[in-house]
Amino acid sequence: MFDLSIIVPGIRINNWKKLYDSISRSTSVSWEMIFVGPYDLPIELAGFDNIIYIKDFGTPIRCQQMGLLASSGKWITWAADDGFFLDGALDVGFDLISNDEDVVMGKYYEGESNEIAMSDSQYYLLNYHPPTRSSFIPAEFYTLNVGLVPSMLLKDVGGWDCQFEVCPMSYADLAFRLQNQGIIFTIQDEVMFRCSHMPGTSGDHGPIHYAQILHDEPLYQSIYGTPDCKDRNKIDINNHLRVPSVWARRFSQ
DSSP calls for 69-86: HH---SEEEE--TTEEEP
Q: What is the mean pLDDT of the chain?
A: 94
Q: Provide the pLDDT for residue 199.
A: 56
Q: Provide the pLDDT for residue 202.
A: 56
| Residue ranges covered by each domain of the chain | 4-227
Say whether 41 sits in a helix, a strand or coil.
coil
HSE value, Cβ hemisphere, 13 Å, CA-based, for 29: 23
207/63: higher pLDDT: 63
Q: Please state which of the four CATH numbers 3.60.15.10, 3.40.1190.10, 3.90.550.10, 3.40.605.10 is assigned to the domain occupying 4-227.
A: 3.90.550.10
Q: How many C-beta atoms surround the C-beta of residue 168 within 10 A? A: 18
For the stretch 196-205, pLDDT in tens is 855 556 557 6
**How far is CA 57 from its chain centroid?**
18
Residue 116: pLDDT band (50, 70, 90) is: confident
Question: Cα angle vertex 21, ends 15, 24, to 5°?
Answer: 150
1 pLDDT more than 80: yes
Q: Provide the pLDDT for residue 173.
A: 98
Q: Provide the pLDDT for residue 200.
A: 57
The answer to whether 250 and 198 are in contact (CB under 8 A) is no
For the stretch 134-163, pLDDT in tens is 999 999 999 999 999 999 999 999 999 999
Global pTM? 0.95
